[in-house]
Amino acid sequence: MGWNNILLEKENEIAVLTINRPDVLNALDAETLQEIGTAMDQLDNDNEVRVVILTGAGSKAFVAGADIAYMQKLTPMEAKNFSRIGQKAFSKIENLSKPVIAAINGFALGGGCELAMACDIRIASDNAKLGQPEVSLGINAGFGATQRLPRLVNPGIAKEMLFTGDYFSAERAKSIGLVNDVVPAAELMKYCMNMAKRIAARAPIAVQLTKEAINDGLEMDLEKGFIHEADIFGVAFSTEDRDEGFASYLDKRKPEFKGK
């Protein structure tokens, strides 16, 4: 389908979704958020895709935040609805049945930082800046940062980031666990693509079940999480990929996983 604000491309088993509003540093308005959500639905149903990379157009910004010119006109009720549109779109990323890697190629501020948080793995270019500057505009974060950030990093660090609105360098973001790694800007997409290829080579159902176990387990106490993991472990043993994985190991050959 045609998109106004995103690009969606596929290279074999890897999809690349690019937020494509470089004239406003890829800022998010309602239409862009809705397109992201629709794209996630499409990717969820695409059996050829095993991994998704999410990035921003241009060299300056991943996503510089929500579109301030758009938000300036919102009434309180419209602002609440805008928040829910963003939260629902990002939850589709978080709950997608395949891993999503954020390639953070510049500013990831406000809604952009929240977009990255919804991804499974975050890789930043060495010139990236991450932050939640909403309080400097007289508002609070509205696309999930107050909930996801304290779960991803130390709650005190999350509060520092949200209370001060300060920008964190890519290296500081790595030191607090907000990003997995920092690489030179020129190597960012190659690095993310290589990681995506390694994941895509694994058994796709097993990867999907692993993501499910982690996401669900974060909302459970430890013992319930163990039980849930065991249930999922049993499901994995019902797949053809499990048979292929064991057979290829014993035969000392490369597995050929079918996602069945």
Read out DSSP for 19-85?
E--GGGTT-B-HHHHHHHHHHHHHHHT-TT--EEEEEESSSSEEE--B-HHHHTT--HHHHHHHHHH
Residue 212 annotated to the active site: no
Give the pLDDT confidence score for residue 259 in this predicted structure: 87
For the domain bounded by 204-251, which CATH number is listed? 1.10.12.10
Residue 244 annotated to the active site: no
Give the pLDDT confidence score for residue 223 in this predicted structure: 96
Give the pLDDT confidence score for residue 2 in this predicted structure: 82
Give 33-64 pLDDT, tens digit per residue: 999 999 999 999 999 999 999 999 998 999 99
- Please indicate whether the domains covering 6-200 and 204-251 agree at the CATH topology level: no
Q: Which CATH superfamily is domain 6-200 in?
A: 2-enoyl-CoA Hydratase; Chain A, domain 1 (3.90.226.10)
Q: Tell me if 56 sits within 8 A of 67, measured CB to CB.
A: no
Of the residues 35, 48, 94, 114, only one is catalytic, namely 114
Give 97-124 pLDDT, tens digit per residue: 999 999 999 999 999 999 999 999 999 9
Is the pLDDT at 1 greater than 80? The verdict is no
pTM score above 0.85: yes
Q: Minimal CA–CA distance to 146: which of 83, 69, 99, 82?
A: 83
Handedness of CA 79, 85, 88, 94 (dihedral sign): negative
Q: CB-based burial of residue 197 (10 Å sphere; 0-12 exposed, 13-18 middle, 19+ buried)?
A: middle
Q: How far apart are CA 209 and CA 205, in angstroms?
A: 6
Is the pLDDT at 228 greater than 70? The verdict is yes
Domain residue extents for the chain: 6-200, 204-251
Of the residues 134, 160, 219, 256, only one is catalytic, namely 134
